[in-house]
Homo-oligomer: A and B are copies of this chain.
Amino acid sequence: MGIRDVPPGPDPLLRTLAEFRFELRCFLYFSETAAQKAGLQPQQHQLLLQVAGAPEGTILTIAYVAERLGLKHNSAVELADRSEREGLLARTVDAADKRRAILRLTRKGKLLLGRLAGDHARELNELGPRLAKTLKNISRYSHKSAQMEPQ
């Protein structure tokens, strides 16, 4: 802790941004691996999470999950196709607007997602504080002030 948090040498902002992305990558790697161990593709996991974790009252359309996952509509369609084929997800045509497909999890999908959620929460409880600290360092170094007391 202290000055070693952002060692001297190269541009401290680049140094800290690199560290942040590394920590982020570690989390994503954990997440991808956990999903695959559970028998899900990482993106399928994300789809299930956005479906199950949507705010109350959300209309769970393809367009909604596409926006939440940062995907184009057609990519979300394909992801839902694959997930449906594997019995993780079900589509039903919206009775109120037959253009829409409503997504919901199957029991299998819920089960797998639930297991992953606990693991992710644990991992984030460990990683979170480190991420937060690195984020603070970024803000410190991006305001290009000479560094005062670390932390």
Contact = CB atoms under 8 A, between A and B. Distances in A.
Interface residues of A, number: 49
Nearest to A30: B70
A137 B124 CA distance: 11
Interface in A14-38: 14-22, 24-26, 28-29
**Copies in the assembly, this chain:** 2
Interface stretch (A4-12, A78-86, A89-97): A4-12
B125 A139 contact: yes
B135 A121 contact: no
A2 interface: no
A40 interface: no
Contact of A131 (B7, B118, B131): B131
13 contacts: A13-B117, A14-B49, A14-B117, A17-B117, A18-B52, A18-B53, A122-B142, A124-B135, A128-B136, A128-B138, A128-B139, A131-B132, A132-B135
Interface of A: 7-11, 13-22, 24-26, 28-29, 46, 49-50, 52-57, 68-70, 113, 117-118, 120-122, 124-125, 128, 131-132, 135-136, 138-139, 141-142
